[in-house]
Amino acid sequence: MRIMVDCRYTRIGRHDGISRFTAGIVGALAPLAAEAGHEITLVVSDERQLDALPELPWILATAPTSPRELTVARRLNAARPDVVFSPMQTIGSWGRRFGLVLTLHDLIYYRHPTPPREFAWPLRLLWRLYHLAWWPQRLTLNRADEVVTVSETTRELIREHRLTRRPVAVVRNAADAVPDAAARTQPDGRDLVYVGAFLPYKNVETLATAMHRLPGYRLHLLSRIGDADEARLTSLAPEGSLVLHRGASDADYAALLDSAFALVTMSRDEGFGLPLVEAMVRGTPVVVSDTAIFHEVGAEAAVYADPSDPDDVARAVRSLEDTATWEGLSRAAIVQAARFDWTESARDLLEVLERVAAHHR
């Protein structure tokens, strides 16, 4: 079987969520496919993307935001794949002669229709129009032979809104394993870590406001931040309580998690919540919003709070000041994080790809 993986969403330099999912899943898929006698070819739009991907055969295609995306399947046909997997749902499929598996990560932008800021204004306009109704998503997903998503929560939402007639499988997100991970002892410091965007639904404002109830704590904001977001969040928090990193390397991120009191997020909506697993796999407790997706990912290893109530957020953080509670959650975090494994996810994906390829022959 010839498998083609669309890696054109891989970021150059630093991963975002889709990029990390792509690299993680293809890295684990490669040895499983080789063991089964399958061939994998990567599709990239910039050769620099290969630096974040395993060494596999590859072809160059146009960027997924190019006007030529509508006809990209015709160019992929030349490589004669049996099945193509895309970590997004927007790959062009007109004229395809291969099986197609698409990914829908979440339905966030139907409830919070703010497009990514890095998009040019024409693409931002199309993004908003696309999310005004459900039917464009249905058309998009029904082009595939099967659809995957990263959580049971999102699969249930896809079913609830009847977004596709195709089978929907769960291929979980995961974090890179930490060799010999062991439960931590409670740190002396009171450093909290937030990683993620500063979009309205991420609700970082509640975290900043909660810092008034958490004297002696510091909130590290790791992601790149615009001037307006920085000014707003700084005005909400006590002076000196926010540490703005304006971007952090993977190594710096790991080091912060290894010394942190907790990872915190009060996001109102997620398709998965990868930072939870990235913290838990290192034995770092997590304090998160009381939502269905975070209960799926964090289970009994997380502490939950009302994302609209800064007092409740502070209560949840302070509950970890008890040493036995903190260290018990550190142990539970490692156990829970082990449920999210790239190899298991790749195995689930390979079953889908084999089924689609066999059906499409």
List the CATH number of the domain containing 253: 3.40.50.2000
Asked if the structure places residue 112 within a domain, the reply is yes
Asked if the structure places residue 182 within a domain, the reply is no
pLDDT (0 to 100) of residue 117: 61
pLDDT (0 to 100) of residue 182: 84
- Phi, psi (rounded to 5 degrees) for 89: -110, 5
Paired tokens of 229:
């977001």
Tell me the one-letter amino acid at 2: R
- Considering the domain architecture, whether residues 198 and 305 belong to the same structural domain is answered as yes
Asked if the structure places residue 60 within a domain, the reply is yes
- Considering the domain architecture, whether residues 153 and 12 belong to the same structural domain is answered as yes
297-332 confidence digits (pLDDT tens): 999 999 999 999 999 999 999 999 999 999 999 999
Distant-in-sequence, close-in-space partners of 159: CB < 8 Å, separation ≥ 6 = 168
pLDDT (0 to 100) of residue 245: 94
- Considering the domain architecture, whether residues 32 and 162 belong to the same structural domain is answered as yes
- Considering the domain architecture, whether residues 354 and 234 belong to the same structural domain is answered as no
- Phi, psi (rounded to 5 degrees) for 183: -60, 145
Q: What is the pLDDT along the chain (361 residues), one digit of tens a residue?
A: 999 999 999 998 888 889 999 999 999 999 999 999 999 999 999 999 999 999 999 999 999 988 888 899 999 999 999 999 999 998 999 999 999 999 999 888 777 666 666 566 676 667 666 666 777 889 999 999 999 999 999 999 999 999 999 999 999 999 988 877 788 999 999 999 999 989 889 999 999 999 999 999 999 999 989 899 999 999 999 999 999 999 888 899 999 999 999 999 999 999 999 999 999 999 999 999 999 999 999 999 999 999 999 999 999 999 999 999 999 999 999 999 999 999 999 999 999 999 999 987 6
pLDDT (0 to 100) of residue 107: 86
Q: How many residues does the chain have?
A: 361
- Considering the domain architecture, whether residues 202 and 315 belong to the same structural domain is answered as yes
For the chain, the domain total comes to 2
The two beta strands, 83-85 and 99-103, are: parallel
- Considering the domain architecture, whether residues 13 and 31 belong to the same structural domain is answered as yes
- Considering the domain architecture, whether residues 331 and 349 belong to the same structural domain is answered as no
Asked if the structure places residue 185 within a domain, the reply is no
pLDDT (0 to 100) of residue 338: 94
pLDDT (0 to 100) of residue 116: 62
- Considering the domain architecture, whether residues 32 and 93 belong to the same structural domain is answered as yes
Asked if the structure places residue 236 within a domain, the reply is yes
Residue 272: give the domain boundaries.
191-337
Degrees to nearest 5, angle at CA 162 with 156 and 168: 55
pLDDT (0 to 100) of residue 180: 77
Tell me the one-letter amino acid at 58: W
- Considering the domain architecture, whether residues 202 and 170 belong to the same structural domain is answered as no
How far apart CA 98 and CA 104 sit, in angstroms, is: 19
How far apart CA 356 and CA 170 sit, in angstroms, is: 15
- Phi, psi (rounded to 5 degrees) for 107: -120, 25
- Considering the domain architecture, whether residues 323 and 351 belong to the same structural domain is answered as no
Asked if the structure places residue 183 within a domain, the reply is no
- Considering the domain architecture, whether residues 202 and 320 belong to the same structural domain is answered as yes
- Considering the domain architecture, whether residues 49 and 121 belong to the same structural domain is answered as yes
Distant-in-sequence, close-in-space partners of 325: CB < 8 Å, separation ≥ 6 = 319
Asked if the structure places residue 216 within a domain, the reply is yes
Asked if the structure places residue 136 within a domain, the reply is yes
Paired tokens of 291:
């939502």
Paired tokens of 54:
């395993």
pLDDT (0 to 100) of residue 292: 95
